[in-house]
Structure 1
Amino acid sequence: MIGSSAVFRRRSWTVLLLGLLTTASPAAFAAECPGHPDALGTSRTLVVDPREHPRIGTMQYRETLPLKDHEVVLTFDDGPLPKYSNQVLQILASECIKATFFIIGQQAKANPDGVRKLVAAGHTVGTHSMNHPLTMNKMPIEKAQAEIDGGIEWTSAAMTDPSRLAPFFRIPGLMRADGVENYLISRGIQVWSADFPADDWRHISPDRVYQLAIQRLEAKGKGILLLHDIQARTVAALPKIIRDLKAKGYRIVHVVPATADRPATPTTPVEWLLHPPTETTPIARWPAVPSFVFTQTATLPAPGLADLNAQTAHQPQVLPRKAIAQADIAATLPAPGRDVFAIPEGSVEVLLSTTLSRRAATRLAMAAEGPHAGKGKAGTIRAGKIHARRTAAHTGPRPAAQAKRTASHPTRLATSVKKRA
């Protein structure tokens, strides 16, 4: 009785502790977002090293950010544009959400205060070229480099502290090219694609933007969402997107670059895959065949018949002596010529190859005998015997039973011919 009560008390304390931990999570988020107890908040900060994973986003690349299930990274392109970017900043601030913004150099040049507001709010700021060309996959590499460098120059110039500029870059229109990516990677800049967009650059309604964002997120379960902070439809759809993220249990992740004082978050290579393979998930691609290194490439001679008859005191002979003798004789015989197997065209043997020609062959055999061919049954038998001898001369000796069958068959044909005549 005492033991059972002790177990009951232990279970009660366990349930109470779990309940306190569960209820403490919203309070912790509320503490980070004063005045907004129902805020979605930012669940964690992910530190990445661009040199270790230079390309991310499964819309174009194999890897993406190492997110857990139901984790989302919000990204915004093409700003800052005060009319709409300021509203996006207010919506994110009301929910204590940190996002990543990819700035156009011309926008930073025209609105440097907008860039400083992003940095002051704690968001990550990357770049998005100087003029947002949609032909970076076609233009000469020198022109692409000028676009990249110009965007970095004017965005960093708009900041009070240029070191706050993240080495993140998103190619305009996601029009990727190997030369552009190689240049970015050589400078230690991480190339960002996305895992799914909301199509908010198209002429669609805000409600459609909201639907596409949630539907595509639900389909993948986690990932990088691509939005634009220069569109009125994005401003209208963003509160509804955040509302559904909260209702469906999604969490916001803030991404920052690694520095000397801030090492990258420890991860494993498989975490950088959107859906890592498991034992219950079939792999669509076979693994690469490993490259074997052979210590020596000398080939051994093929074994001969003599090698199979290596006799020892306790090893019986593998092949019988008669088979060995025949093999030795066969090895010394010359190969037969082609004329040995030649059969003259129109000969009796050719005609006998088909059933319909056997009667004509018998007539030819009888005609070849001429006056020596006997009449009646005796002549027919002689003709059959002569034909059998001629056939045997070409085909070699035959068993007695087979020769008998061959001789008797033309006899019946000749008799039937005689009767008809």
Structure 2
Amino acid sequence: MRTRSWIVLCLGGFLGCSTIGSPAALAADCPGHPDALGTSRTLVVDPREHPLIGTMQYRETLPLRDHEVVLTFDDGPLPKYSNQVLKMLDDECIKATFFIIGSQAKANPEGVRKLVAAGHTVGTHSMNHPLTFDRMPIEKAEAEINGGIEWTSAAMTDSSKLAPFFRIPGLMRAEGVEHHLISRGIQVWSADFPADDWRHVSSDRVYQLAIQRLEAKGKGILLLHDIQARTVAALPKIIRDLKARGYRIVHVVPATADRPATPTTPVEWLLHPPTETVPIARWPSVPSFVFTQTRTLPAPSLADLNAQTEHQPLLPRRTKGQMDVASALPVPGRALFAIPEGSVEVLLSTTLSRRAATRLAMAAETPHAARGKAAKGKTAKSQARHTAHAAPAAPKHAAQAKGTTPRSTRIASLKKRA
């Protein structure tokens, strides 16, 4: 019985702990609004460690977890619309970050004090919101920065509530301005995705862009403006969808001497760490290996340079195989190679050339007759040359044909003689 009670107690404690951070648990911190979205956690950042944030322009952003959102509002306070935005956030117990324009704080200091009293983070957004920060002289940029800080802090009861956060008007960044802000320990904020509520679009379009871009990135800093009627109309639908899709609100505050920065790792300041975005090749599983006892092989030494390992047999190796005996052929008889009588003379007569036959015939005659025939041959040759020069158009082989007498050649074969 005791064992069962202990198991039930542990299970109940586990379920109770698992609800921490859920919408139901956060709604308990929002009296009178049981369905409120709430704020899931507070993130404390040190501007000196990560001075440039927002992936719209910079490499790093806030170290948010998946489905975490930071709401930011620019250009206020403007009572007509800023007060409505403030009321919606209070009803949902949402904490946001506001970037105040100095001229607006000067004209409506009460609006700044309302933001601080509601627990929101307040940064600055220049004095007059010029859209030339990317090309104005650094002296003018410094004057704009200082004017915004001066009038915003003057509107507060406690100037220490002003966060060292700054967003460049129109996100018109410039390296000189960024270096100046960093040297003063001020964190430069961009954003991860906007809703384009400063453009001439409908409130439905603002809502669609906010949700679509958030879904595409999964987390990040949302840029809105609390001085636009379209933003006031779109904000309830944005909050409704954040709640329905399981997103959580994160409140960002600066680190102080009494409030140290939230411990983080460098990779958490990337919107999508490499481990989440880089595909890893999946290799086939490697079978487990079974190691057996090893044997020591003999190592070659100077005294035995021809040493062989045990698993290599000495060469040459004998090849084993079956040798098939070829079938014996009959020995040819002598009659196969016999040459008929009289064939030798015929063979010789066919192999002699015409010139060799002429020489043999001349040798058989008397020396006097040979000389006469030779003289006649020379005379015939000279006549042929003369004829050839006299009639160049005649073919050469025709001239040679006149000086030679055709001879009959006797050709015989073994078949005819046989």
Fold similarity call, TM over 0.5: yes
Larger Rg: 2
Higher helix share: 1
User: Which residue among 187, 192, 197 is the counterpart of 1:190?
Assistant: 187
Match of 2:206 in 1: 209
CA distance in 2 between partners of 1:146 and 1:229 (Å): 25
- Cα shift readout 1:121-180 (whole Å, capped 9, x = no counterpart): 000000000000111000111001101010001101111111100000000000000000
- Structure 2 counterpart SS, 1:32: coil
Match of 1:37 in 2: 34
For residues 2-401 of structure 1, the aligned pairs below 5 Å read 15-23=11-19, 25-278=22-275, 281-282=278-279
CA distance in 1 between partners of 2:211 and 2:277 (Å): 27
CA distance in 2 between partners of 1:14 and 1:62 (Å): 45
TM-score w.r.t. length of structure 2: 0.65
Letter in 2 for 1:220: K
Paired residues, number: 287
Letter in 2 for 1:19: L
Q: Report the alpha carbon displacement of residue 11 of structure 1 after superposing the two structures with TM.
A: 6.8
- Is the 8 Å Cα contact of residues 24 and 35 (structure 2) preserved in structure 1? no
Letter in 2 for 1:263: P
Letter in 2 for 1:61: Y
Q: Report the alpha carbon displacement of residue 23 of structure 1 after superposing the two structures with TM.
A: 4.9
- Structure 1 counterpart SS, 2:65: coil
Aligned-residue sequence identity (percent) comes to 83
Letter in 2 for 1:32: D
CA distance in 2 between partners of 1:179 and 1:22 (Å): 48
- Structure 1 counterpart SS, 2:249: strand
- Cα shift readout 1:240-284 (whole Å, capped 9, x = no counterpart): 10011011110000000001111100101010000011187159x
TM-score w.r.t. length of structure 1: 0.64
Q: Report the alpha carbon displacement of residue 32 of structure 1 after superposing the two structures with TM.
A: 1.5
CA distance in 2 between partners of 1:79 and 1:252 (Å): 21
Q: Report the alpha carbon displacement of residue 108 of structure 1 after superposing the two structures with TM.
A: 0.4
Q: Report the alpha carbon displacement of residue 19 of structure 1 after superposing the two structures with TM.
A: 3.3
- Structure 1 stretches of 4+ with a deviation exceeding 2 A read 8-28
- Structure 1 counterpart SS, 2:188: strand
CA distance in 2 between partners of 1:204 and 1:109 (Å): 29
Q: Report the alpha carbon displacement of residue 111 of structure 1 after superposing the two structures with TM.
A: 0.4
Letter in 2 for 1:216: R
- Structure 2 counterpart SS, 1:226: strand
- Cα shift readout 1:53-86 (whole Å, capped 9, x = no counterpart): 0000000000000000000000000000000000
CA distance in 2 between partners of 1:184 and 1:278 (Å): 32
Letter in 2 for 1:72: V
- Structure 1 counterpart SS, 2:28: helix
Q: Report the alpha carbon displacement of residue 9 of structure 1 after superposing the two structures with TM.
A: 7.9
Match of 1:351 in 2: none
- Structure 2 counterpart SS, 1:203: coil
Residue ranges of structure 2 left out of the alignment (5+ in a row): 281-301, 306-395, 398-418
- Cα shift readout 1:194-249 (whole Å, capped 9, x = no counterpart): 00000000111111101100000000000000000000000010011001101111
- Structure 1 counterpart SS, 2:205: helix
Q: Report the alpha carbon displacement of residue 21 of structure 1 after superposing the two structures with TM.
A: 3.4
Give the direction of change, closer, same or farther, for the CA distance of 1:161–1:251 in structure 2 (3 Å limit): same
Match of 2:384 in 1: none
Letter in 1 for 2:274: P
CA distance in 1 between partners of 2:176 and 2:192 (Å): 22
Residue ranges of structure 1 left out of the alignment (5+ in a row): 284-312, 317-417
